[in-house]
Structure 1
Amino acid sequence: MVNEPNSPRDEEEKRLLVVLEQVSRRMRKELALLGDRREDVVGIRQEFWDDVRMNFSDSTEVGETWSSIVQQAELLAERERSHRVASEAVERLTKQFDSPYFARIDFAEKGYDAEVIYIGRASLVGEDGETFYVYDWRAPVSSLFYDHEPGPATYRVPDGEMIGELLLKRQFVIRGGQMKFMFDTSETVGDEILQAVLSEGSDTSMKSIVATIQKEQNGIIRDEKHKLLVVQGAAGSGKTSAALQRIAYLLYRYRESLAPDQIILFSPNPVFKGYISRVLPDLGEANMRQMTFRELIEARLGRRFEVEDLFSQTEALAADDGSPAGESRERSVRYKGSEHFFVTVENYLKRLEQEGVRFHPLRFRSMTIASAEEMSERFYGIQASDGFGTRAAGVRRWLLERLQSWVDSQMDEAWVEEAAESASSEDIQRAYVEVRRSGGFHDEAFEDEDHMSAIIRRRVAENAVAPLVKAVRNYRFLDAVATYRELFESRSLFAACAPDGKLPLGWEWMLQRAEETFGRKLVDHEDATPLMYVSEALEGFRRVEGDILHVFVDEAQDYSPFQAAYLRRRYPRARMTVLGDFNQAIYLQSQDSGGFGGWIRLMSPEVTSVLRLTTSYRSTEQIVDFTKAILTAEDAKGITPFNRKGEPPKVVACKDGGQLGEKIAADIEDLLGKGYGTIGVITKTAHETGNASAVLKELLPNDVSIALVTGGSAELPRGVSVLPSYLAKGIEFDAVLVWDASDDLYGKDKDRKLLYTVCTRALHVLHVYHTGEASPWLPRQGGRK
């Protein structure tokens, strides 16, 4: 079809050529600069010492030599920074040449002529520094595209509100510098654009799709009013995308006062961390700090204890399901994640302000340097109003001084003499250098040798107690475990601290369990956060990263109310954005809390906003309707599929495990032949994952790669991935094959949301297999074969 002269399409393609020429011109300049800077860096590195005047003959010459080294190092650092900036500019321009913008709006501010504005992932300014060819999607004016249809429109700027009329709203799909689609729209983002993007195959990392941000997502991204933003979103509704784009927006909006390392994102697992790692760099920003809650626990407790993780806890509970021990453990998990227990621990900490903190005595071999009683006396000798942190720091200073005095007292002891006699040649050489620097070894050497011997004795004594010094510096003299256990060893103490004065059901079992695990330096997952809280509270939250200004929590429904409250205490200055889905609350610790636990109660209602995303964009309409039917009518209420058609999900009955493996293997070959790039075979537990992986490797050709995804995996490969249900959260696959959704495995009420979570990982194809009776939660009507 030939376009008519001067048609809108012709005009837009001419304009695109102008922009691409601007990008090319900038690219040539940046490439030339990059080449120059690379040569500078290589040259300076090669000639670094040739350009430094080395002379150590006297103090003046040493100073000049040092100054010369510093100047050369500063020059190298400046050139390296310039090289890095030029390299980043080339990368950004390369992306812009592929797709410089995705939208155009014509906006007439009240009292002024209309302005034509093009919007892309990054801004593009002409060489005059004034002509804007493209505006960054995060610029205030760009919100008009996301928030308004043609007609009266407003957008906010730092100084107030701009009022006017949106005259035109046009969208583009540009790939490889070629305009593929163009159309005008009256919707936030046209269905045609969404259809095109959502029909694409999945990748092993999350995409940055700023062209498809919806109005409700844009409200999340640009919210600056609230300190606590709680987002409940259906599976596939774009929660995580909105969170990452919100981070990019904040870094753009507050670039003078907010750095990426002042933002922290808590991800559900290591696989998900790798999955989202490319989004911010694609948007032109450095990645924020990212960690799992497990990593936080490991950093705090992992060096001293073997700490159970959430996945191991889940496996253990599944193994003991239905047994008396399993039921007791379930009660403990539910209680220790509750707000009741958090308040109990807080009340206990208040009591500890007066008495009860336990201490480790400071001992060297059989000698006591400082007793637990002395530490307690010092600790409680400091005013309670000064807080735990000041008290702990005071004891720390006193212990370090005590250690130094103790070392002084040991200089003539036999153990020091023995250690000095076997001193290493390195210690002897250091002692010699120290004496020589002080003017020794010129005339009479007897005193110098005595001096050298004293230095060696002190050094070996200090080396011997160095582990104690390190322990004191790290506040290891505080016995957080004994202090925490005390709460379970006294019925009257626990009842006095409980907000209702009552012991929880199963308190005796919890006491026995604490004695068994802590005695073997094991920490159950349900004890890890309370223990970490007590430990950090006693130290005055000394390791709290007070410079963190924004905390993001993804899959927030999986956090217990205790964990939510703990994060609030740990990052007291931070604004919080928490995102999750009630219907994907698959872990026991959060199932009694309605999905979001105590998140919405962390801050006052005046600074809290609770938002809901109901449209599911990830899956086809058929898959969304199927997965909604897994839920109760109440839980499924409001979930709306986006209008993207696909094949109906299949529920496949298998007579036994052998046939199940054969059918899944055959379907994998068929799906790979059809071009599906990512296929997820999802089992319920890690034990089943190992079996499924082994079976499929036997049945499939050698050229079909089968990746076994574990809790330690950091990346999601292309092709076929076999993984347990709890590692699939937040990830999507072109096709999902559910391994044995039988009544035996998914028959209990608590399995309902887990099955829903597993099935909602599918973009285009969903096959659910089962042996024996199918899970009662699977839809009964149609689709089965």
Structure 2
Amino acid sequence: MPAPAHGPLDRERAHLAASRAALRAMRAEVAALDLTDVAANWVNAAVLQAEVDARIAALADLADTPLFFGRLDYREDTGGHTGQTADHAGQRYYIGRRHVHDAAGEPMVIDWRAPVSQPFYRASRRDPQGVDLRRRFGYTGGELTAYEDERLSGAAPDTTEGAAGSALLQREIERPRVGPMRDIVATIQPEQDAIVRTGVEGTVCVQGAPGTGKTAVGLHRVAYLLYAHRQRLARTGTLVLGPNASFLRYIEQVLPALGELRVRQSTVDALTAHVPVRGGDDARAATVKGDARMAEVLRRALRSHVRPPAEPCVVVRGSRRWRVPAYELAEIVEELLGRDIRYGAAREALPQRIAHAVLVRMEQSGEAPDDRVQDTVARSTAVKATVKACWPPVDPARLVLRLLSDADFLATHAEGLLSAEEQKAVLWAKPARGVRTAPWTVADTVLVDEAMDLVARTPSLGHVVLDEAQDLSPMQYRAVGRRCTTGSATVLGDLAQGTTPWATASWSEALRHLGKPDAAVEELTRGFRVPREVIAYASRLLPAIAPTLAPATSVRTSPGDFAVLRVPELAAGVLDACRAALGREGSVGLIAADARLPELTAALARAGLPYLAPGDETTAEARLTLVPASLAKGLEYDSVVLDEPAAIVDGEPDERTGLRRLYVCLTRAVSALTIVHTAPLPGELSA
């Protein structure tokens, strides 16, 4: 018999142990299901087994992940409230990552996404929402070690609520980051929760300064939507888009920790990879190819394949010949063009329209044809020949290939849209022989994706999360928008961190290209990750890179370890800083200009310091990650050593882009930042 639990902490530990046992029982119950002879056929059986396997995986108990992190005690006296608040009067709920119930079906842990859990994030002393006491739990290595109470009723309002007033929240926020990104479900703040719980019909754009948790908010929103609208999104699907593979590896554990295992994750480049990328564009070419005007160029080029019929269509049925004159065929073609439907859909409709014209003639002659006759006529050799002549099939990749390799063809369809200089910029240096051997670039693949959608509609998903959106071109926004035309989106980014030549100038423009012009734009400026001194130092760059944005503030009570070191020998200074950082807890990121990586790689090897690539999981043996400045966006490390800021700025095509890249690199630290340099710092930082 276990010893009785006497103190509050003992009782909470007992509830945790009982909840874990209940979760194991729930999992065992699913695993014990006998599916023999349940399904009608092997296909249904396989689908059902996959569902059961997914449910078993979702019920896994993660040893190092707290099963619950908070508790709500509702008041006995509802204070005149009705509805939900009155329904919960006197109740106690434990709030966690997933629902857990006992053998009788009584809840032991409530999913954080359930309506009853919302006051855990939103209630305050000004607005208790029926809650008497909110309790937060502290964990060490999966073991419950502390709790902290906040009395919400019967107390005078003060200004210490939220992260700034909770020691456990502060400790959780500042807990060392070892391995991939963690969920923030235990530390979500009211302004973040409001975004997370936005309805599935609404698209929301989050402008978030570094450390405000915008990526985590986006991931938690898709988890919330899957909870609240599971059947709908199970049919239509969900997608998370990140800037690169390293970023996706970094965030890949967040949704599984929340019990969501079926959310697809990808990059925009992978989403549009319809042709093999063999080349690269300079900034000028990529900017023009990414311009929204290219959509109209492609539309014109595609529609140019439609030709007016030169001859009538004569259909032979038995001893009769039915003739549709060329002028009537031309009217049908013009009517389809005027409807501006997709090229492929119009091409599929054309034979039926011609067949209908034939049936009209049959009826006028006294015959009574039915739909089967119309289908037969539509499939006849004569009609097929007419359709092929008037509305030939078009391969999207070959269409783009011709535009980029045939100057005359491009000039014809870009007239009035692209200048002669812009046309010259996008043309390939040498004519391409075929789709597989063409010097395709990443920007070209987006053009192919656009052309494919002009031919046949791109399937729409229920919800898309787009992170680091500020770096997308208008054509890339269009590509993402096609994936959620009938669904919604969560757009995440920071205008100050735009580092591409075509970086987003305003969210209203970006949302228009995405096809969501009415989306709400929310701004997060309260930082929870970046230490106070670090964000203040990085914000010196804002007047030069994003003068319209307000500097972020930090709720962190500790300023963090911050140092700017000018050293006589750069490599030696960087190695010393890395050794000092490795003396602290958590992950260490050495961020440097891409051109500096070979020298630093050699220096680390000589010093015997093992290091990882971005996105790799840190271990006890290797906590240092060597991060190219071009891949630092979206990542975070407990300690950051920043190598030669001037080299990061000089590595970009212009100073503003370079300063934005530096801003990104400066704001990757959670606890400590050491800047090591020999060259003078940019003027904005040396003041």
Question: Normalised by the shorter chain, which TM-score bucket?
Answer: 0.7 to 0.9
Q: Check 1:166–1:150 CA distance in 2 against 1; reply closer, same or farther (3 A cut).
A: farther
- Asked whether 1:110 is paired with 2:81, we answer yes
Q: Output the CA distance in 2 between the equivalents of 1:114 and 1:660.
A: 64
Q: How far did 1:115 drift?
A: 3.2
Deviates more, 1:104-113 or 1:79-88: 79-88
The residue correspondences of 1:692-771 to structure 2 (distance < 5 A) are 692-698=600-606, 700-701=607-608, 704-709=609-614, 718-742=622-646, 745=650, 748-771=655-678
Structure 1 residue identity aligned to 2:403: Y
Aligned length: 594
Q: State the partner residue of 2:327.
A: none
Task: Give 1:467's aligned residue.
Answer: none
Matched, 1:301 2:275: yes
CA–CA distance in 2 between the matches of 1:296 and 1:390? 23
1:485 to 391, 404, 429: 404
Evaluate the alpha carbon distance shift between residue 218 and residue 307 of structure 1 in structure 2; reply closer, same or farther with a 3 A threshold.
farther
- Cα 1:503–1:184, aligned 2, differ >3 Å: closer, same or farther? same
- Contact preservation (8 Å) 2:477, 2:513: no
- Asked whether the equivalents of residues 237 and 618 of structure 1 are also in contact (C-alpha less than 8 Å), the reply is yes
Aligned residue for 2:147? 181
- Residue 19 of structure 1 corresponds to 15
The correspondence of residues 393-404 of structure 1 with structure 2, limited to 5 A, is none
Q: CA RMSD in A?
A: 4.0
Counterpart-to-counterpart distance in 2, 1:517 and 1:354: 26
Paired letter, 1:749 = R
Gaps of 5+ in 2: 153-160, 309-329, 353-392
User: Alpha-carbon deviations, 1:139-168, whole Å to 9, x = none?
Assistant: 112112222313546xxxxxxxxxx63433
Paired residues of 1:228 and 1:603 also in contact (CA < 8 A): no
TM-score by length of 1: 0.67
SS class of match (1:146): helix
In structure 2, the partner of 1:324 is none
Distance 1:638 1:75, change over 3 A: closer
CA–CA distance in 2 between the matches of 1:477 and 1:584? 34
CA 1:614–1:706: 2 relative to 1, 3 Å:
same
What displacement does 1:28 show?
6.1
Pick one of 291, 297, 307 that aligns with 1:338.
291
CA distance in 1, matches of 2:508, 2:98: 35
Give yes or no for contact 1:102–1:173 (8 Å, CA) kept in 2: no
Equivalent in the alignment of 2:345? 390
Q: In the aligned structure 1, how far is the partner of 2:24 from the partner of 2:425?
A: 71
Structure 1 Cα separation of the partners of residues 396 and 625 of structure 2:
46
Q: Which of the residues 470, 478, 488 maps onto 1:565?
A: 478
1:618 maps onto 2:529 in alignment = yes
Confirm whether residue 235 of structure 1 aligns to residue 154 of structure 2.
no
Q: CA 1:517–1:684 in 2, change beyond 3 Å: closer, same or farther?
A: farther
Q: Larger Rg: 1 or 2?
A: 1
> Per the alignment, in what secondary structure is the counterpart of residue 682 of structure 1?
strand
Shift of 1:21: 5.0
What letter is aligned with 2:404? R
Confirm or deny: 8 A CA contact 1:251 1:260 kept in the other structure: no
Partner of 1:361: none
1:567-607 residue CA offsets vs partner (Å, 9 max, x unmatched): 2234422211110001110111226x3477522554465x4
Q: Which has the higher helix share?
A: 1
Q: Distance in 1 between matches of 2:235 and 2:294?
A: 34
Q: After superposition, what is the alpha-carbon deviation per residue over 1:346-394, rounded to whole angstroms, capped at 9, x for unaligned?
A: 4555555568xxxxxxxxxxxxxxxxxxxxx9x9799545631135669
Give deviations 1:698-744, integer Å, cap 9, x for gaps.
1x13xx312245xxx77677511112112111110112122222267
Deviates more, 1:630-639 or 1:120-129: 630-639
Q: Is the 8 A contact 1:561 1:590 kept in 2?
A: no
Matches within 5 A, 1:420-499: 476=395, 479-485=398-404, 488-489=407-408, 493-494=412-413, 496=415, 498=417
Question: What's the secondary structure of 2:246's corresponding residue?
Answer: helix
Question: Deviation at 1:211?
Answer: 1.3
The residue type paired with residue 570 of structure 2 is L
Distance (whole Å) between structure 2 residues aligned to residue 79 and residue 69 of structure 1: 10
CA 1:145–1:100 in 2, change beyond 3 Å: closer, same or farther? closer
Aligned counterparts of 2:485 and 2:41: Cα–Cα separation in 1: 41
Q: Is the 8 A contact 1:337 1:590 kept in 2?
A: no
Give the SS at the match of 2:662.
helix
Match of 1:554 in 2: 467
Matched position secondary structure for 1:211: coil
User: Does the residue aligned with 1:579 lie in a helix, a strand or coil?
Assistant: strand
The residue type equivalent to 2:566 in the other structure is A
Partner of 1:409: none
- 1:120 is matched with which residue? 96
> What do the CA deviations read for 1:405-463 (whole angstroms, capped 9, x no partner)?
xxxxxxxxxxxxxxxxxxxxxxxxxxxxxxxxxxxxxxxxxxxxxxxxxxxxxxxxxxx
SS of the aligned residue for 1:645 comes to coil
Distance 1:242 1:201 in 2: 20
| TM-aligned CA deviation for residue 101 of structure 1 | 3.4
Change (3 A) 1:74 1:242: closer
Partner of 1:526: 443
Residue pair 1:148, 1:188 contacting (<8 A) in 2 also? no
Structure 1 match to 2:511: 599
Aligned-partner Cα distance in 1 for 2:91–2:495: 44
Q: Which residue of 1 aligns with 2:587?
A: 678
- Structure 1 SS opposite 2:231: coil
Please state if 1:91 is matched with 2:61.
Answer: yes
Q: Which runs of 5+ in 1 are unaligned?
A: 1-8, 45-66, 154-163, 314-328, 356-376, 398-473
Q: Output the CA distance in 2 between the equivalents of 1:776 and 1:228.
A: 39
Contact 1:488 1:494 in 2 (8 A): no
Tell me the percent identity: 22
Supply the distance in 1 between the matched residues of 2:604 and 2:262 (Cα, whole angstroms). Answer: 37
Q: Is contact 2:530–2:669 with CA below 8 Å preserved after alignment? A: yes
Query: CA contact under 8 A between 1:205 and 1:275: conserved in structure 2?
Result: yes
- What's the counterpart of residue 52 of structure 1? none
Residue 510 (structure 1) aligns with: 426
User: 1:556, CA displacement in angstroms?
Assistant: 0.3
Separation in structure 1 between the aligned mates of residue 541 and residue 402 of structure 2, nearest angstrom: 45
For the 8 Å contact 2:590–2:627, the answer to whether it is kept is yes
TM alignment of 1:68-217, pairs within 5 A? 85-86=55-56, 88-91=58-61, 98-106=66-74, 108=78, 110-111=81-82, 112=86, 113-129=89-105, 131-152=106-127, 165-175=130-140, 176-184=142-150, 187-189=161-163, 190-217=165-192
Change over 3 Å in CA distance of 1:337–1:725 after alignment to 2:
same
Pair 1:608 & 2:519 matched: yes
Distance 1:487 1:597, change over 3 A: farther
Q: Take 2:588 and 2:433, find their aligned partners in 1: how far apart are those partners? A: 40
Deviation at 1:505, TM superposition (A): 4.5
The 2-side partners of 1:125 and 1:224 are apart by: 27
Shift of 1:755: 0.3
2:459 aligned partner: 545
Distance (whole Å) between structure 2 residues aligned to residue 773 and residue 516 of structure 1: 47
Question: What does 1:278-427 correspond to in 2, within 5 Å?
Answer: 278-298=253-273, 300-302=274-276, 306-308=278-280, 329-346=282-299, 349=302, 383-384=336-337, 385=339, 387-390=342-345
SS of aligned partner of 1:210: coil
SS in 2 for 1:670: helix
SS in 2 for 1:212: coil
Please report how far the alpha carbon of residue 20 of structure 1 lies from its aligned counterpart in structure 2 after TM superposition. 3.0
Shift of 1:534: 1.9
Q: Establish whether residue 690 from structure 1 lines up as the match of residue 598 from structure 2.
A: yes
- Contact 1:697 1:706 (8 Å CA) reproduced: no
Separation (CA, whole Å) in 2 of partners of 1:255 and 1:68: 24
Query: Would you say the 8 A contact 1:344–1:497 is kept in 2?
Result: no
Name which of 665, 668, 678 aligns with 2:575: 665
CA distance in structure 1 between the aligned counterparts of 2:24 and 2:480, rounded to whole angstroms: 48
2:146 maps to amino acid? K
